[in-house]
Amino acid sequence: MLTLLGVAVIVLGFALRFNPLLVVIAAALTSGLAAGLAPLEVLAAFGKAFNTNRYVTVAWLVLPAIAVLERAGLREQARRTIQGLKAATPGRLLIAYLALRQVSAALGMTQVAGHAQTVRPLVAPMAEAAGEPLDDDRRERVKAMCSATDNVGLFFGEDIFLAIGSILLIVGFLDQSGVTVEPLHLSMWAIPSAIAAFVIHGARLMLFDRKLKP
């Protein structure tokens, strides 16, 4: 029962609005020590989890790299690149990004793009440049639509990949209920939803272009 002290630490820490990361670490330390583990054993468990979870490692490597590129003028260069294309509009640019995001997610590459590594440093500046001139209100709406497009592309694209967590969760749940379903069948049924999402959101982006016109 002493191991449940970690839960109490989480509840208390969140109630006092402490840093969530510190609260979780403190809770893990509390549970580990209460379970009779030595401090070094708890630390070793943290290290093993860190090395096993590759997404954490990738985030620590990618985000500083993006920050360095932004400092070197990545956003400004993205704006200059799109300004040279006369036919470019925010809607057309985001439709292309939506297609890229869906296809890459369908192939299991969900971490290739995203808000931090793609939308903020590249897609949003390019969409803003394609829609110039923009006032503050329309500029914020362009940024919001960039993030929404990334969400739609990822959400409806990743379910086509048969090894994604959501597909495996559905397969496992149905199997426990006595219903046997192949992951491939579920991923195939996700294709019509992805196509519908692309058409619907693509139409929204075209209408969005019209709303941006002064």
Same domain, yes or no, for 125 and 83? yes
Q: Give the pLDDT confidence of 84-128 residue by residue, as tens digits.
A: 888 899 999 999 999 999 999 999 888 888 898 899 999 999 999
pLDDT computed for residue 49 by the predictor: 67
Rounded to the nearest 5 degrees, what angle is found at the Cα of 25, between the Cα atoms of 20 and 27?
Answer: 95
pLDDT tens for each residue of 58-72: 555 666 777 788 888
CB contact set of 172 (below 8 Å; sequence gap of 6+) = none
The answer on 100 and 40 residing in a single domain is no
User: Whole-model pTM?
Assistant: 0.70
Model pLDDT, residue 122 = 93
- Domain of residue 118, residue span: 75-212
Does residue 66 form part of some domain?
no
Q: In which residue ranges of the chain is pLDDT below 50?
A: 55
Q: What is the pLDDT of residue 51?
A: 60
> CA-to-CA distance for 3 and 155, rounded, in angstroms?
37
Check residue 7 and give its pLDDT.
85
- What pLDDT was estimated at residue 19? 78
The angle formed by the CA atoms of residues 55, 113 and 72, to the nearest 5 degrees, is 95
**Residue 130 and residue 200 in one domain:** yes
Q: What is the predicted pLDDT for the residue at 15?
A: 85
